[in-house]
Amino acid sequence: MLELIAFDADDTLWHSEILYVNSQERILEILSPYSEKELTRQELYRAELPNLSIYGYGIKGFALSMIEAAIRLSDSKIRGSEVEQIIDLAKDMMKAPVRLLEGAAEAVEALSNSYPLMLITKGDLFDQERKITQSGLAAYFKHIEIVSEKTVDVYRSVLAKHGVDPSGFLMIGNSPRSDILPVIELGARAVLIPYHTTWVHEAADAVGEAPMNCIELEHIGLLPAFIEQLAQDSQVGAR
């Protein structure tokens, strides 16, 4: 029996990664006088990873990492005006209108009629709150949780807080690392809905074959019918 259905937000309900990808493409242009594009692309990714443990996730840490990489790739020759362009890209990202994925609003609305829903998203508190408000979806969620990282322990404590057993919990998201693997490890179920672009960091090496208790859907529009079927199957199983 499903007691609580939770959604990831970035790249599950609304577009996010594409903002980072587009900004990085612009930074490749800005840095083209100093560094060859493919090398730059690798270095930009490499600059972010060690900083995640210092900055956490989100646009502001991304921007600081991009500036750091720009200084390194330009051998410290980067100009003030070019650093300013990177800062302006970050500000544009922080102000970018929320663009819902096709079918997301309909799926959330439909499911909210039958189940308590939770939004659980990781990253920058200020930016996530802005996006939740702008999305127009906040009212469909009984609980909204903004966390700094999505680990097994974090899911465990969120479920404990709301008095939900993992056996009654279903998580929907696009990130194997953050939305699927920790939830499966906890003994709950998960639905993976891949986004067309996944940040390498979120892809997780260990997925391989789909684990037990996880299915993959191509599109969020397929979700309400899948969950209806799942509910019918578990009623049959319970007899």
Q: Tell me which residues touch its own copies (CB under 8 A).
A: 51, 54-58, 60-61, 63-64, 67-68, 70-71, 74-81, 83-84, 87, 90-91, 94-95, 124-127, 129, 146-148
DSSP state, residue 180: I
Distance in angstroms (rounded) separating the CA atoms of residues 70 and 66: 6
Complex with its own copies: residue 76 or 113, whichever CB lies closer: 76
Complex with its own copies: residue 199 or 227, whichever CB lies closer: 199
Complex with its own copies: residue 68 or 106, whichever CB lies closer: 68
Q: Closest distance between its own copies and the C-beta of residue 237, in Å?
A: 36
Task: Name residue 142's amino acid.
Answer: K
Those residues whose C-beta lies under 8 Å from the C-beta of residue 47, and which sit 6 or more positions away, are: 65, 66, 68, 69, 72
Contacts of range 210-214, beta carbons closer than 8 Å, 24 or more positions apart: 211/180, 211/181, 211/184, 212/184, 213/184, 213/187, 213/188, 213/189, 214/180, 214/184, 214/189, 214/190
Complex with its own copies: residue 137 or 190, whichever CB lies closer: 137
Q: Closest distance between its own copies and the C-beta of residue 92, in Å?
A: 10
Complex with its own copies: residue 67 or 101, whichever CB lies closer: 67
Q: If phi over 0 gives left and psi between -120 and 50 gives alpha, with beta otherwise, what is residue 150?
A: beta
Q: Closest distance between its own copies and the C-beta of residue 72, in Å?
A: 8
Complex with its own copies: residue 182 or 224, whichever CB lies closer: 182
Those residues whose C-beta lies under 8 Å from the C-beta of residue 224, and which sit 6 or more positions away, are: 106, 107, 110, 111
Q: Closest distance between its own copies and the C-beta of residue 23, in Å?
A: 14
Q: Closest distance between its own copies and the C-beta of residue 153, in Å?
A: 12
Q: Closest distance between its own copies and the C-beta of residue 96, in Å?
A: 11
Task: Name residue 158's amino acid.
Answer: V
